Amino acid sequence: MNPASAANVLSRDEIASAIRGLSDANWIRLRKVADRYSRGRIEANDLLQEAFTRALDTRTCPAHVSVVKFLAEAIRSIADGIGEKVENRLVLVPVAKTGGDESEAFNVPDTDPDCETRLIEAEAADTFRGAMLELFTDDPVARDIVEGTMEGMEAEELRELTGLDMTGYATKRRLIRRRIDKAFPEGWKP
């Protein structure tokens, strides 16, 4: 790293100092972000601890980025990484030995999920989707936003779909988050 770019990123001590200086509200903010990303695969506390460790030792925090945003992004990245790791892990399958003393050989199977895995995943996805949509049966606009989001639509597309302006969309997003928070206070647990 050259001196110019080094000056634009926070040092380990500066990151630690910024984290120590977080307000109560920002600690609650991070806790809530971790709850939302835990998704039953990792505890929120573990996500936070891993984010702290990476913030101090492996990730680079640009000086202009708030440390709360930086940690929230680290939490997201860790959670998404865990999801990918679990679903793309390679299972090494020993092949039949054909003789000789050489160490056992392994086949590396296709990483595409097999039929059974697909069925289980589809069932889990349906359960999750159903549980989320069920919360908004009385509010078709909120329901459209939740459904569209799960389908991968961006905010602009969702505003176009629902006819909401920026403020209306933000208000509806707040309602959605509060309702999901209330229904699943510690995040989704399948």
- 79 part of the interface to other proteins, by CB under 8 A: yes
Instruction: Give every CB contact of residue 9 below 8 A, 6+ residues apart in sequence.
Output: 1, 60, 61, 62, 63
Return the number of the residue (97 or 177) whose C-beta is nearest other proteins: 177
Q: Minimum distance from CB of 10 to other proteins (Å)?
A: 15
CB atoms within 10 A of CB 139: 15
Which contacts of 128-137 are long-range, i.e. CB under 8 A and separated by 24 or more positions? 128/188, 128/190, 131/183, 131/188, 132/180, 135/179, 135/180, 135/183, 136/176, 136/179
What's the burial of 181, exposed, middle or buried (CB within 10 Å: 0-12/13-18/19+)?
Answer: middle
125's tokens: 């996805």
| Residues 4 to 63 in contact with other proteins, rule: CB under 8 A | 16, 19-20, 22-33, 36-37, 39, 45, 48-49, 52-53, 56-57
Q: Using the rule CB under 8 A, give the single segment among 90-98, 99-107, 117-125, 159-167 that binds other proteins.
A: 117-125
Which of 5, 11, 87, 140 is close enough to bind other proteins by CB under 8 A? Answer: 87
Joined tokens for residue 106: 């392994």
142 part of the interface to other proteins, by CB under 8 A: no
Smallest separation (angstroms) from other proteins to the CB of 98 = 33
First vs last C-alpha separation in the chain: 44
- Name the site residues for other proteins (rule: CB under 8 A): 16, 19-20, 22-33, 36-37, 39, 45, 48-49, 52-53, 56-57, 68-69, 72, 76, 79-80, 83-84, 87, 112-113, 121-122, 124-125, 128-129, 132, 145-146, 149-152, 170, 173-174, 176-178, 180-182, 185, 188
